[in-house]
Amino acid sequence: MIRATNLHKRFGKVTAVEDVSFTAEDGMITGLLGPNGAGKTTTLRMLYTLVRPDRGTATVDGVDVTARPEDARRVLGVLPDARGLYPRLTAREHARYYGELHGLSGAALDKCVDELVDLLDMKELADRRAEGFSQGERVKVALARALVHGPRNVLLDEPTNGLDVMSTRAVRTLLRRLKDEGRCVVFSSHIMQEVAALCERIVVVAHGRVVAEGTPDALRASTGKDSLEEAFVATIGSEQGLMQ
Ligand X SMILES: Nc1ncnc2c1ncn2[C@@H]1O[C@H](COP(=O)(O)OP(=O)(O)OP(=O)(O)O)[C@@H](O)[C@H]1O
73/70 Cα distance (integer angstroms): 5
Q: How many CB atoms lie within 10 A of CB 109?
A: 19
Q: State the nearest-atom distance from the C-beta of 234 to ligand X, in Å.
A: 19
Q: How many residues bind ligand X, per CB under 6 A?
A: 12
Task: Kindly state whether residue 190 participates in binding ligand X, applying the rule CB under 6 A.
Answer: yes
Please, which residue, 99 or 159, has the CB nearer to ligand X?
Answer: 159
CA distances from 58 to 49, 152, 218 (A): 9, 16, 25
Of 16 and 85, which CB lies nearer to ligand X in the complex structure? 16
- Residues 141-180, one symbol each (x = binds ligand X by CB under 6 A, - = not), give ----------------------------------------
Question: Strands 14-24, 184-189: parallel, antiparallel or unpaired by DSSP?
Answer: unpaired
Residues 3-32 within binding reach of ligand X (CB under 6 A)? 11, 14, 16
How many whole angstroms separate alpha carbon 170 and alpha carbon 40? Answer: 23
Position 42 contacts ligand X (CB under 6 A): yes
- Report whether 235 contacts 212 (CB < 8 A): yes
Instruction: Tell the smallest beta-carbon distance from residue 56 to ligand X (Å).
Output: 15
CB of 84 to ligand X, least distance (A): 16
Contact 146, 115 (CB under 8 A): no
Residues 6+ away with beta carbon under 8 Å from 201: 24, 25, 28, 29, 30, 31, 213, 214, 215
Q: Which is nearer to ligand X, 107 or 243 (CB)?
A: 243
* E strand spans, 25-90: 28-33, 55-60, 63-64, 76-79
Is 244 near ligand X (CB under 6 A)? no
Helix axis angle for 135-147 and 165-180, nearest 10°, is 10
Residue 67 is a binding residue for ligand X (CB under 6 A): no
53 binds ligand X (CB under 6 A): no
Residue 40 binds to ligand X (criterion: CB under 6 A)? yes
Shortest distance (Å) from residue 174 CB to ligand X: 21
Residue 110, Cβ density class (10 Å: 0-12 exposed, 13-18 middle, ≥19 buried):
middle
Which of 2, 20, 30, 41 is close enough to bind ligand X by CB under 6 A? Answer: 41
The CA distance from 16 to 65, in Å, is: 19
C-beta of 47: minimal distance to ligand X in Å?
12
Binding range to ligand X, per CB under 6 A, among 34-42, 52-60, 176-184, 213-221: 34-42
| Contact residues: ligand X, CB under 6 A | 11, 14, 16, 34, 36-42, 190
